[in-house]
Structure 1
Amino acid sequence: MLLNIDLPPEAPPPSAAPDPAPSPRREEGGDAPPAEGRASSAERAEGRAPSAAPAEERASSAEPAEGRASSAAPAEGRASSAERPPLAGLPVLRLIRPLAVLALLAMILGRMLAPAMVGLAVGIERAAHTVELAGAGASQLFAIGAIVTAMALIGAVVRSRVPYALRIAAIVAGSFVILVVLHATVQRVPDLSAALIGVSAAILAVGSAWEALRVPFMRPVAAALGLVGASALVRLTGVLLAVWANDRGSKALAGATSSVATAAFALDALAVLVATVALGAGREARPREAEPPRPRLVSPLSLAALASALLATRAALAGASDDASVVEALFRRALDRLLTRPAPVVPLSMQLFAAALAVVVVALALIAPPRLPALGGALALLLVARSAPEVPLGALSLVIAALCVALAARDERGFWAAVLATERERPSSALPGAGKPDATGGASG
């Protein structure tokens, strides 16, 4: 008689939801009971005992319960380790974008507007002084944050899977640039030290770009970084030739200086164009198994950057005339602060356009960053340093951009964790295929 009694279900764990109410018996015109109820009632109608297989299975499954309980602790440890951040440098990458915002403010206020407003018009002395103080404050905040971030990035790169040569270069170049920046807070940096930090940052940028070019989703930013590093090396070579030509009074060295400066400007302009293309690269949401999309040469962001740079260049060219307005003269003076020296054999309009486009791309990279915001910050930092790698803060910006690119390219787990965290914030309508009808006429999930 015990076999005719249905065994009760196993008690749920404390965290499980309560069992639903039992389904009512079948009445005339009512719904059919569940399949198990029909099977048991059929067996009772035939006078047979229900199958004891489920009871035996439950009895056999109860035997290794102790084993499952003993393995609960390792499984719990595995779950907790999976929830931990997969990369020690991932929290550092989150600081790149706010740091790039400070770099942009320091460049616009302290390097462009403050010198351009001096003597621009009558009665703006107080405004010029206010802008100068704001630029100095932004520069100091950026210097403090950049030093801390660079030290954290060096430690993260050393613990990552970056090649040993690049790790050594990160330690040597990064530490040397940090020391010179700390020295610059006390007194003026000697010319030799300024040249050495520019060369060190440029070599590190080229090495990081070469390593990151192997990763498909890093190629646009890596190409811009490598071109900026190469342009810095060529331009510093032109500065050295200019010094020799001035000391010796050689016309041949002066001509070589102009040629080298022109080559450096060509690399720099190409870097700005590549960065403009990188604005629209990889912004579409896609499944993880899909191949990364190729960068589009024309995107809404790149068109907006080119149009804004054209308007700024036009205003700067008009600012050289005698009847120019205050705004046009301000544009001319501000963009003149971004022109490289020695001067290349290139029309002034092209130099102004490259300078204006770099500033616009920096702003757009921070406003509308790629799928990983750290890449937008790295893109902004390398463009901030493009025209002044020998300046301590410019060299430090280039070092941070190089370390960020190397770290994001080599640590795939940390990169994709940040990408997935960004994609979770996207609305479901932004995902590919959302809301599209399938072959059966329903909406695809």
Structure 2
Amino acid sequence: MLLNIDLPPEGNPPSAAPDPAAPPRREEGGGAPPAEPAEPQPSAAARSPLAGMPVLALIRPLAVLALLAMLLGRLLAPAMVGLAVGIERSARAVELAGAGASQLFAIGAIVMAMALISAVVRSRVPYTLRIAAVVAGSFVILVVLHATVQRVPDLSAALIGVSAAILALGSAWEALRVPFMRPVAAALGLVGASALVRLTGVLLAVWANDRGSKALAGATSSVATAAFALDALAVLVAAVALGAGREARPREADPPRPGPRLVSPLSLAALASALLATRAALAGAAEDASMIETLFRRALDRLLTRPAPVVPLSMQLFVAALSVVVVALALIAPPRLPALGGALALLLVARSAPEVPLGALSLVIAALCVALASRDERGFWAAVLSSERERTSSALPDAGKPDPTGGASG
């Protein structure tokens, strides 16, 4: 079970009913009374309708839909328009596929957000975080439903971005107390802080445009640069989180193991892939660029944040490419709990667009998932040890089969 909302007490509560394991009491006449059938004890699932509900197990499939919607609808479909002669049908097919993936993700995300809010309310997270989950999550869900029929006003878009960012900061602060959650919690907190700073930069940019103030324009660039720095740090921390905590939990007799390494094969693969994508995107600006290089440039341009920071374009393209690669690797090779890989992917999907309804909803789901996983330590370790036993049993040879060397396998 991945999520235990109401854990049963350590000991059985005192009851007036006789213990079925105790010997029957004899009457004065010497005869033993007839044995009465023992009443079945209520299970934990009967006491709580949410106990044992695998809420966190559904995060990873939802994150796969979010990745498909981002790749098809946000990156490839706009980038393929006018790319070459004769690909209009292909571009239209990709656009329809992206729209379908976005609709499926929106439906699944709304249902998942409501289930997570209900789970958080009945969990052991602090009351302040429960209230924030209900208020921020419900508000974001309402705006997403409103966005299905008409365009969201700018004020509502800004408010859902702020609400999702504040919830992300609260969940990250709560999850930092748990050692195995710290890499994902740090990435979540940095994404929330970057969203707040970037939305402040958007507000300053609107004021500077209305008043024609050069001082506000300069402040806007500074704030946008600070937001980009937090965003880049969040992506790097997420890359480190790919390889953190993948080793088995040490036993009490084993010596303590060192902390998680900052460099792992997965993080190196992510950095190398992002470098190749950045090189292709930079070459896509030339007149003699190939179609693939132009496609990379157009696609990564869609992930650049606004207002533009005072940072070289190559660095902005690298952070954008690294975020996409980390999302894919988090779903292919997730951390010890697959739900953490899904949460890591969702928060990176929402990192550059928290004011977009689906982006804000992705950030809310990631924040609630991290908060629940940090409070369900027994369920987490049960899932981890179960998966480790499955891997160990599949790696060991079957008992009774002859060994190739002539002996029997133990």
Distance 2:340 2:87 in 1: 38
C-alpha distance in 2, partners of 1:158/1:87? 11
- Partner in structure 1 of residue 292 of structure 2: 327
- The 1:333/1:411 distance shift into structure 2, 3 A limit, reads same
Please say if residues 5 and 52 of structure 2, whose CA atoms lie closer than 8 Å, have aligned partners that are also in contact. no
Q: CA RMSD in A?
A: 11.7
Deviation at 1:296, TM superposition (A): 1.1
CA distance in 1, matches of 2:199, 2:374: 28
Please tell me whether the aligned partners of residues 319 and 328 of structure 1 are also in contact (alpha carbons under 8 angstroms).
yes
User: Contact 1:285–1:432 at 8 Å: present in 2 too?
Assistant: no
Shift of 1:419: 1.8
8 Å CA contact 2:4–2:53 kept in 1: the answer is: no
**Structure 2 length as normaliser, TM-score?**
0.83
Aligned pair in 2 of structure 1 residues 13, 276: CA closer, same or farther (>3 Å)? closer
Q: Give the superposition deviation at 1:284.
A: 1.5
14 and 85 in structure 1: CA distance in 2 versus 1, 3 angstrom threshold: closer
Deviations 1:120-169 (A, max 9, x none): 11000000000000000000000000000000000000111000000000
Out of 372, 395, 401, the residue aligned to residue 407 of structure 1 is 372
Q: C-alpha offsets along residues 401-441 of structure 1, whole Å, 9 cap, x if unaligned?
A: 00000000012222222222322321248799999999999
Report the secondary structure of 1:273's partner residue: helix
Q: Is the 8 A contact 1:116 1:330 kept in 2?
A: yes
Query: Contact 1:213 / 1:219 at 8 angstroms: preserved in 2?
Result: yes
Find 1:262's aligned residue among 194, 201, 225: 225
Which of 410, 414, 419 aligns to 2:384? It is 419
Alignment length, in residue pairs? 408
Q: Render the CA deviation track for 1:172-209: whole Å, top value 9, x for unaligned.
A: 00000000000000000000000000000000000000
- Deviation string for 1:83-140 (max 9, x for gaps)? x999737511010000000000000000000000000110000000000000000000
More displaced stretch, 406-415 vs 101-110:
406-415
Task: Please give the alpha-carbon distance, in whole angstroms, between the structure 1 residues aligned to 2:222 and 2:275.
Answer: 26
Larger radius of gyration: 1
Deviation string for 1:55-93 (max 9, x for gaps)?
xxxxxxx999999999999xxxxxxxxxx9997375110
Shift of the 442–292 alpha-carbon distance from structure 1 to 2, 3 Å rule, reads farther
**2:277–2:321 CA contact under 8 A, matched in 1:** yes
Per the alignment, do residues 26 and 362 of structure 1 end up closer, same or farther by CA in structure 2, a change over 3 Å counting?
same
1:211 offset after TM fit, Å? 0.4
Q: Distance in 1 between matches of 2:30 and 2:195?
A: 83
Task: Give the TM-score of the pair, scaled to structure 1.
Answer: 0.77
Gap regions ≥5 residues in structure 2: none
- Closer/same/farther in 2, CA of residues 72 and 177 from structure 1, 3 Å limit: closer
C-alpha change, 1:430 and 1:196, in structure 2 (3 Å) is: farther
Seen in structure 2, the aligned counterparts of structure 1 residues 118 and 18 have a Cα distance that, compared at 3 Å, is: same
Find the residue that maps to 1:180 and give its secondary structure.
helix
| Aligned counterparts of 1:92 and 1:357: Cα–Cα separation in 2 | 29
The alignment partner of 1:285 has SS state of: coil
How far is the alpha carbon of 1:316 from its aligned partner? 0.1
Conserved? CA contact 1:89–1:156, under 8 Å: no
8 A contact 2:335–2:341 mirrored in 1:
yes
Cα 1:85–1:255, aligned 2, differ >3 Å: closer, same or farther?
same
Task: Work out whether residues 205 and 220 of structure 2, in 8 Å CA contact, stay in contact via their aligned partners in 1.
Answer: yes
Distance 1:354 1:64, change over 3 A: closer
**Match for residue 11 of structure 2?**
11
Partner of 1:63: 36
How far the C-alpha of 1:239 sits from its partner, in A, is: 0.1
**The 10-residue stretch of structure 1 (280-289 or 300-309) with the greater mean CA deviation from structure 2:** 280-289
Report the Cα distance in structure 2 between the residues aligned to 1:339 and 1:89, rounded to whole angstroms. 41
The 1-side partners of 2:151 and 2:362 are apart by: 19
Identify if the C-alpha distance between structure 1 residues 181 and 63 changes in structure 2 by more than 3 Å, giving closer, same or farther. Answer: closer
Farther-moved stretch of structure 1 (405-414 vs 342-351): 405-414
CA distance in 1, matches of 2:312, 2:102: 32
Distance 1:5 1:194 in 2: 32
Contact 2:2 2:55 in 1 (8 A): no
Hey, what's the Cα distance between the residues in 1 that align with 2:406 and 2:294? 62
Query: Per-residue CA shift, 1:331-385, capped at 9, x if unaligned?
Result: 0000000000000000000000000000000000000011100000000000000
Q: Deviations 1:225-268 (Å, cap 9, x if unpaired)?
A: 00000000000000000000000000000000000000000000
Secondary structure of 1:275's aligned partner: helix
Secondary structure class of the residue paired with 1:86: coil
Query: RCO greater where, 1 or 2, for CA within 8 Å and sep 6 or more?
Result: 2
Q: Deviations over 1:247-299 (max 9, x none)?
A: 00000000000000000000000000000000001112234548998821111
Find the partner of 2:131 among 168, 183, 201: 168
Question: Does the CA contact (< 8 Å) of 2:4 and 2:376 recur in 1?
Answer: no
Closer, same or farther: CA 64–200 of 1 in aligned 2, 3 Å: closer
Is the contact made by 1:87 and 1:414 (CA closer than 8 Å) also made in structure 2? Answer: no
Could you tell me the percent identity over the aligned residues? 91
State the match for 2:251 in structure 1: 288
Kept in 1, the 8 Å contact 2:3–2:55? The answer is no
Query: Within the alignment, does 1:443 sit opposite 2:401 as a pair?
Result: no
The answer as to whether partners of 2:2 and 2:52 remain within 8 angstroms in 1 is: no
The 1:322–1:417 alpha-carbon spacing in structure 2 relative to 1, beyond 3 Å, is same
Distance 2:135 2:161 in 1: 13
Partners of 1:353 and 1:70 lie apart in 2 by: 52
- Change in Cα spacing, 1:352 to 1:293, as seen in structure 2 (3 Å) is farther
Distance 2:197 2:263 in 1: 29
C-alpha distance in 2, partners of 1:304/1:2? Answer: 29
Structure-2 change in CA distance of 1:283 and 1:85 (3 Å): farther
Instruction: Tell me how far apart the structure 1 counterparts of residues 176 and 61 of structure 2 sit (CA, whole Å).
Output: 25
Q: Which moved more, 1:129-138 or 1:22-31?
A: 22-31
Q: Distance in 2 between matches of 1:127 and 1:9?
A: 59
Q: Give the 3-state SS of the residue equivalent to 2:286 in structure 1.
A: coil
User: CA deviation digits over 1:309-332, x for unaligned, max 9?
Assistant: 000000000000000000000000
Q: Is contact 2:403-2:409 (8 Å) kept?
A: yes
